[in-house]
Chains A and B, each alone.
Chain A
Amino acid sequence: MKVLHGISLEVLPGEVVCIIGPNGAGKTTLLRTISGLNRATRGSIRFKGEEVAGLKPYQMVRRGLGHCPEGRRVFQLSIEENLITGYVPGRGKSFAELRDQVYALFPILGERRHQSAGRLSGGQQQMVAIGRALMGSPELLLLDEPSLGLAPIIIHQIFEIVLKLAESGVSIILVEQNIDLSFEVADFVYALEHGSLQCSGPAAKMAADPRIKDIYLPGLDGQDSH
């Protein structure tokens, strides 16, 4: 089934790009296509100047892509084992180095490193999912609704980390239904509806765009679940 139609999107190093849109707009499909889980029927995907359409997800990860999937999907393994699954040898840093970095970002994970990730709270699972993606030293990080179902204070904490990552030069593509949040962190916003691009532009400019207010009133599709 064809879900996305002629979407053009660009991310520069260290930039936070936010994709907004209602349920079923194709946001997750877009991320899955970039990762290689779904195949694009045409068009091209270029990463660091190279054509990457047709590569498998694990090959993308080895080239520097990180993907925190919708619903977090942590493994029913311990926290530390979850980090092991995300470690990609040969990308510069050693496992111990990266692991300690993740534990420095999320101290709670370090304290509970031997606990099963499946039993953690939603916020901690999101931290595991982000930490796991960071174990591959990504240059581009895809985040699929990291705020979904989390308490505001945890969301705030996670988005601070996201901004910190962006400052350190990681590019980020963020899919969010929470419009306020999106405009707060994004440099650039793309609005999707029914699989096509409705409008896009710098966050500040888009925030004032009446079309955004019309189509994506936060009250109508705020933080609902699936």
Chain B
Amino acid sequence: MGALILQQTINALTVGSIYALIALGYTMVYGVLRLINFAHSELFTAGAFIGLALAGALGVAGHPTGGLLVGFITFVIIGLAGVSVEIVAYRPLRGTSRLAPMLSALGMAVVIQNAVMLIGGRRPLIYPSFLPSGVIDVFGAIITYKQITIFLVAVILMVALELFVNRTNLGVRIRAVAENAETASLVGINPNMAISLIFFIGPGLGAVAGILYSSFYGVATFTMGFVIGMKAFTAAILGGIGSIPGAVLGGFLLGFIETFATAWMPVLTGGLIGTEYRDIFAFSVLVLILLFRPAGLLGEHVSEETIVYKSDF
């Protein structure tokens, strides 16, 4: 029993790490533009595919150290793709309705997903793991090195992001733009600089999550971003969209809810609800949080005044 709970905790931390990394991208973009970047989940997929291509090109498939290099290059490539998405699909629509950029985001998601399909193919691809193999037995629970690596990579990236946003001058400027882009411009900050940086970092983190995810499950498909993207989005809402600590909390919390609910519901309902209902828990959380606490756990009420689609900054 104890081993089972420990095992599920480890599994929850693994999947939670991935959700949290992706959720950061949603929350950061929302924080500055009040926009849900629906293309984010497809950039996650594209990241996994680019990682795969790089592994082949560099001949480092299956090497953890090569994985570091692949992760870094993929971060930069997808980061630049994210910046381009903003410039092409969102920037021209500033100052219009709030619906227009959202539709543009959906369109961008379709475009990227189809690009991945055309280049990578329709069929699931076997993914070489960049994660070290091996297991540790802790009180009867099996912890794989893969899980440990995923958790560590996620934590390192989150700590780095936290330090960047809170301890550097550039981070201060980004927070100023997130709070009020117009005022930020009035005091000398180029809001587009901050917005581009957000669109570099968010998708970059999502791309690393894509590599980790595919490495863990050993497969990559061009449609895989949709469900996991929705779940990460749920995690961002759960934690309070716009809040960076919220995305991390929401990601891990969702990982726990999903893992434990999936494991225990079949037992509790006598097999009526089986493990195939896995996805239902995350989306039930989404519905509940939107009904009862739309601002999320750590989110604050956003006043309309801070919405940036207004003036010419």
How many Å from the CB of A74 to the closest CB on chain B? 9
Q: Which residues of A contact B191 (CB under 8 A)?
A: 58
Give bound CA distance, A131 to B284, whole Å. 49
Query: What residues of B have a CB within 8 angstroms of the CB of A86 in the complex?
Result: 187-188
With known contacts A57-B186, A85-B184, A36–B312 Cβ distance under 8 A: yes
B240: shortest Cβ distance to chain A, in Å?
15
Please tell me if the beta carbons of B312 and A75 are within 8 angstroms of each other in the complex. no
B133 within 8 A of A: no
Q: Which of A36, A69, A85, A88 contacts B172 (CB 8 A)?
A: A85
Classify chain A: how many residues form its interface, as a range.
Answer: 20 to 34
Does B189 sit within 8 A of A, measured CB to CB?
yes
A5 within 8 A of B: no
| Chain A nearest Cβ from B300, distance in angstroms | 10
Do residues B175 and A136 form an inter-chain contact, with CB atoms below 8 A?
Answer: no
Q: Of A57, A75, A133, which contacts B185 at CB under 8 A?
A: A57
Residue of B nearest to A68 (CB): B186
B180 within 8 A of A: yes
Report the minimum CB–CB distance from A215 to chain B (whole Å). Answer: 30
Are B188 and A136 interface neighbours, CB within 8 A? yes
Q: Is the CB of A75 within 8 A of B180?
A: yes
Interface string of B171-210 (1 = CB under 8 A from A): 0110110011011111111110000000000000000000
Q: Considering the chains assembled together, what is the distance between the CA atoms of A38 and B169 in angstroms? A: 28
Q: Is residue B311 contacting chain A, with contact meaning CB distance below 8 A?
A: yes
Q: Counting CB contacts under 8 A, is A76 at the interface? A: yes
Q: Once the chains bind, are A37 and B186 in contact (CB under 8 Å)?
A: yes
Say whether A147 faces chain B, with CB atoms less than 8 Å apart: no
CA distance A69 to B190 in the complex (A): 17
Q: Which A residues are within 8 Å of any B CB, using their own CB?
A: 35-39, 56-58, 61-62, 67, 69, 73, 75-77, 81, 84-88, 132-133, 135-136
9 sample A-B contacts, Cβ–Cβ < 8 Å, listed by A number: A38-B311, A56-B185, A56-B312, A57-B185, A57-B186, A69-B186, A77-B179, A85-B172, A133-B187
Q: Enumerate chain B interface residues (CB-CB to A < 8 A).
A: 169, 172-173, 175-176, 179-180, 182-191, 311-313
Q: A56-B185, A58-B191, A61-B186 are in contact. List 12 more A-B contacts (CB 8 A).
A: A36-B312, A37-B185, A58-B190, A67-B186, A69-B183, A75-B184, A76-B179, A84-B169, A85-B184, A85-B188, A88-B188, A132-B187
